[in-house]
Structure 1
Amino acid sequence: MSTHLELENAVERHDVPDAGRRNLLKMTGAGVATFGAASLFNISNARAQHMADKWDKVFPKSQNVDHEKVTFTNRYGIGLVGDLYLPKDRADRRLPALAVGGPFGAVKEQSSGLYAQTMAERGFVTLAFDPSFTGESGGEPRNVASPDINTEDFMAAVDFLGLQVSVDRERIGVIGICGWGGMALNAVAADKRVKAVVASTMYDMTRVMSKGYNDSLSLEQRTQTLEQLSRQRWQDAENGTPAYQPPYNDLHGGEAQFLVDYHDYYRTPRGYHARAVNSGNSWTQTTPLSFMNMPLLTYIKEISPRPVLLIHGENAHSRYFSETAYAAAAEPKELMIIPGASHTDLYDKVDVIPFDKLTSFFNQHLSA
């Protein structure tokens, strides 16, 4: 966890001017608001690789897998940092592999890492990664998202996995969680190397940003939002740095239950991680712009004939995203509803996440 002293030392090492130093130090606290200490500067791949072996996940380390901190680069030249999990009993075999990303605003030390480690215990080489501009991965400014670049991050993860000696590159699948579920579906529609895809507790981020929850946003409201975001660009350009949204998942009373659920994951010891946007940090104010103009799931039918598995909680506020995606996808497809589960139950509750189903799905569709 980043501390005020660590950040102050980092500022001193990088010779930040006094005004910049004051601004950076204002962002310290429980979550180092906006930035994680490892992401404050454009660190080299070598330094990212050196951040290696300290176990800083929100879930316990498995004794049945080997773990490596790895770096790779996407098509836009952004250096990504990931955790590679390998079954200890792999010997010299080439195994099926899974690229795992999400949720939106999370880091690899949270849900994606849990999914990746658990699937490695079940015989897969897995890679959980931080998307561009977040966590330990590169890219400036910090904490901005892009439907294009973040879709590319999944494809870059497939690039990386396909070069590993322990991986059969013809047996690669993808798991996307929450907002990265939509990114995963978008990536697999275009990337024909991927043989199967799972989206768990999926959000279509372009839909929710452009239309609001349950498509409740009117054209007038959408236009007003775009007007505000467009003018924010002038302010950012004038200031030379982006403005950030309020800290994520603060509670002030009276919030909807799903917002309380987010807080209970991201802002408590259950799932808190200092580098996660959702753990009291912030996205840039203009992050929604590209999402409001680029529908992610336009080509979901083109995943076929490769199989799609959508998993969602019965009581999740976001369930309609998976139901709509399922209706739009072509066969072979499956929608699995978990009785009684909420959206965040599928982040980390190992007795709720259907790992047996995930295992059988990928064993079937990534068979040699």
Structure 2
Amino acid sequence: MNQDKPNQLATEQALENSGRRDLLKMTGAGIAAVGVAAMTSGQAFAHSTELTLESSWDKTFPKSEKVNHQKVTFQNRYGIPLVGDLYVPKNASGKLAAIVVSGPFGAVKEQSSGLYAQTMAERGFVTLAFDPSFTGESGGAPRNVASPDINVEDFSAAVDCIGMQDHVDRERIGVIGICGFGGMALSAVAVDKRVKAVVASTMYDMTRVMSKGYNDSMTQEQRTQTLTQLSQQRWADVESGKPAYGPVSLELQGGEPQFVVEYADYYKKKERGFHPRAINSNASWSLTTPLSFMNLPILTYIAEIAPRPILLIHGEVAHSRYFSETAYEAAAEPKELMIIPGATHTDLYDQTDVIPFDKMTNFFESHLA
């Protein structure tokens, strides 16, 4: 046996991961500085034709005694099976207003979206938190891929699902999108006129950050170089017969920007937001995920949400605040931008004393009346 073989393999693996890190630094601002993950084997990327649903309560927040909960499955317009958590106020009677929820980008319904959904159900709404295509318990292959088109469609598919529930008034449906799925939510509502009101909390426009970098800092030369790298990665993927993934998400090495440290504090801590099915906690995006985001801006028609109302919520000190501010400028009335004093981007993921649930409740009660 060649005793140098393990060392050689380790060196080769380190070089391969280093190359993937270099590519990720260039692609979509490191896939928004969160979807940085390793090529792994096993169930995380297995392709399955059947959905496997967890039957136990495995959320990152405690179960409420005020609502009933059940898993639901439905399909989007592309035939991809999706999985959601349906929350219904106990002793519900008659037809109620309803809200569908998803996000953040790279998260699962057991994290922030579930917390938002359960809390709003406690306040009298039927709610549905769902996993987007290719992630969490939802279907789609390969795994851990995102698409601005398909993920916008996922919101409308969730509207289909919740509108079929016995206790739901189809004329009183709203949407909440969190982080990267805040932008998806706004895009979905622009085209889906069934939705009567929308909230985007700590919103990212993923097409903007991937195509232009943070604060629109990407130069044309950098964009061209990124697209060249992504194009070459396609050759590598087709030759291997499977997509490549980078090093594990949010494994901090030291020297990262403060907002990346804040992401890690949420996604990596089991006492806070860690969940084994979340890409940002335990897995990775495919390296070529940014391709369609580089070319398809999702907020082009945000003004067409009007005359239906928009509520944008953002932390005062969040690195991402500019996304909500420019979306607010582009939107038509009625619209409102609520800035939470002293709050960071991730404070609005799970800090129940910071997330303005009273404001959202009043907003939806008013506009889903």
Would the TM-score normalized by the shorter structure come out above 0.5? yes
Give the Å deviation of 1:294.
0.2
Give the Å deviation of 1:38.
7.6
Query: Given the alignment, which residue of 273, 291, 301 partners 1:299?
Result: 301
**Structure 1 pair 35–99 and aligned structure 2 pair: CA distance change class (3 A):** farther
**Structure 1 pair 122–183 and aligned structure 2 pair: CA distance change class (3 A):** same
Supply the distance in 2 between the matched residues of 1:74 and 1:123 (Cα, whole angstroms).
Answer: 27
Supply the distance in 2 between the matched residues of 1:354 and 1:144 (Cα, whole angstroms).
Answer: 31
Give the Å deviation of 1:246.
2.0
User: How do 1:306-317 residues align onto structure 2 when only pairs under 5 Å count?
Assistant: 306-317=308-319
Q: What one-letter code is carried by the residue in structure 2 that aligns with 1:64?
A: K
**Structure 1 pair 119–34 and aligned structure 2 pair: CA distance change class (3 A):** farther
Supply the distance in 1 between the matched residues of 2:225 and 2:38 (Cα, whole angstroms).
Answer: 31
Q: What one-letter code is carried by the residue in structure 2 that aligns with 1:76?
A: Y
Check conservation: 2:72, 2:86, Cα contact below 8 A.
yes
Check conservation: 1:52, 1:68, Cα contact below 8 A.
no
Check conservation: 1:39, 1:138, Cα contact below 8 A.
no
| RMSD over aligned Cα atoms | 1.5
Give the Å deviation of 1:140.
0.4
Query: Highest relative contact order (Cα 8 Å, sep 6+), 1 or 2?
Result: 2
Consecutive unaligned residues of structure 2, counting only runs of 5 or more, are 1-36
Residue 42 of structure 1 aligns to a residue in which SS?
coil
Q: What one-letter code is carried by the residue in structure 2 that aligns with 1:143?
A: N
Supply the distance in 2 between the matched residues of 1:110 and 1:39 (Cα, whole angstroms).
Answer: 20
Supply the distance in 2 between the matched residues of 1:298 and 1:70 (Cα, whole angstroms).
Answer: 32
Supply the distance in 1 between the matched residues of 2:96 and 2:135 (Cα, whole angstroms).
Answer: 29
Give the Å deviation of 1:149.
0.2
- In the superposition, the TM-score normalised over structure 1's length comes to 0.88
Give CA-to-partner distance per residue, 1:95-128, whole Å, 9 cap, x none: 1000100000000000000000000000000000
2:47 aligned partner = 41
Please identify runs of 4+ aligned residues in structure 1 that moved more than 6 A.
none
Check conservation: 1:311, 1:335, Cα contact below 8 A.
yes
Supply the distance in 2 between the matched residues of 1:150 and 1:36 (Cα, whole angstroms).
Answer: 25
1:119 aligned partner = 120
- How many residue pairs get aligned? The number is 332
2:32 aligned partner = none
Asked if 1:156 is matched to 2:162, the reply is no
Consecutive unaligned residues of structure 1, counting only runs of 5 or more, are 1-30
Give the Å deviation of 1:89.
2.4
1:18 aligned partner = none
Residue 195 of structure 1 aligns to a residue in which SS?
strand
Identity of aligned residues (%): 73
Supply the distance in 1 between the matched residues of 2:63 and 2:38 (Cα, whole angstroms).
Answer: 25
Supply the distance in 2 between the matched residues of 1:311 and 1:69 (Cα, whole angstroms).
Answer: 28
Check conservation: 2:47, 2:143, Cα contact below 8 A.
no
**Structure 1 pair 310–36 and aligned structure 2 pair: CA distance change class (3 A):** farther
1:131 aligned partner = 132
Give the Å deviation of 1:250.
1.1
Give CA-to-partner distance per residue, 1:194-244, whole Å, 9 cap, x none: 000000000000000001001111000010000000111111111110001
Supply the distance in 2 between the matched residues of 1:349 and 1:292 (Cα, whole angstroms).
Answer: 32
Asked if 1:67 is matched to 2:73, the reply is no
Residue 359 of structure 1 aligns to a residue in which SS?
helix
1:166 aligned partner = 167
2:201 aligned partner = 200
Q: What one-letter code is carried by the residue in structure 1 that aligns with 2:345?
A: H
Supply the distance in 1 between the matched residues of 2:54 and 2:165 (Cα, whole angstroms).
Answer: 18
**Structure 1 pair 267–35 and aligned structure 2 pair: CA distance change class (3 A):** farther
